Structure 1
Amino acid sequence: MTIQFIHYPKCTTCKKAQKWLNDHDISYEEIHIVEQTPTKDEITAFWQASGQPLKKFFNTSGMKYRELGLKDKLAEIPEEEQLELLASDGMLIKRPIVTDGKKVTLGFKESDFEQAWK
């Protein structure tokens, strides 16, 4: 499977991640996270492949996250509803998500990218 780079073009973290992929000659398919928000099933697959807690998939610094007051509510929301919430709005999802169908990285940490994508 081709590497998918699911991002928001104006996001500075996404730009850094994209630069890293380009600098390392890694080809990928670009997916705009708002125009093509991942489905609940896709998010579930990313979550399971990542080994991360589901709460890590939320863009905690985003305006939408704060507007909805999720900081205080998230722990009480069942996982099923959290997945539906994430699938309802690409701006709620931490980005970029990079995946090849087996591995998933969330956000951009150079050491994680070195390990996963080199």
Structure 2
Amino acid sequence: MTVTIWHNPRCSKSRQALQLLRDNGVEPEIVEYLKTPPSEAEIRAVLDKLGIEPRALMRTKEKTYKELGLAGVTDNDKLVAAMAENPVLIERPVVLKGGKAALGRPPEDVLKVL
């Protein structure tokens, strides 16, 4: 079964998670989500697999988050749309395998999907 990582090569946590996967014999499909953003449907699917609300997948300290005034938004559909339109808002890395997903914060958490 394929393992996929939503990866940002400039992020140290994302690089650490990728290396952990490789150290455990897994060569994942790498999706540089800033270049190939996930759709709203893909984000919702990941949220379901993680069992979290949209804001828990967001980088709330990101400049874009503040510029868009997302702190006061309570509509989950609007938060998902904001992530799809501005993938820099998505916390990384996210690792997917089958019906499982893990957010690599800390990086070791990605091993939960293996």
TM-score if structure 1 supplies the norm length? 0.85
Hey, which bits of structure 1, 4+ residues long, moved more than 6 A? none
Deviations 1:63-114 (A, max 9, x none): 22233343x313x2x1111111111011010011110131111133255234
Residues in 1 aligned to 2:81 and 2:104: alpha-carbon distance in whole angstroms: 20
The residue correspondences of 1:14-93 to structure 2 (distance < 5 A) are: 14-70=14-70, 72-74=71-73, 76=74, 78-93=75-90
The residue number in structure 1 matching 2:5 is 5
Aligned residues: 114
* 1:59 alignment partner AA: R
In the alignment, structure 2 segments of 5+ residues that lack a partner are: none
* Aligned-residue identity in percent: 27
* 2:72 alignment partner AA: K
Cα RMSD after superposing both structures: 1.6
Residues in 1 aligned to 2:108 and 2:28: alpha-carbon distance in whole angstroms: 19
In the alignment, structure 1 segments of 5+ residues that lack a partner are: none
Please, which of 91, 97, 100 is the counterpart of residue 97 of structure 2? Answer: 100
* 2:13 alignment partner AA: T
* 2:67 alignment partner AA: E
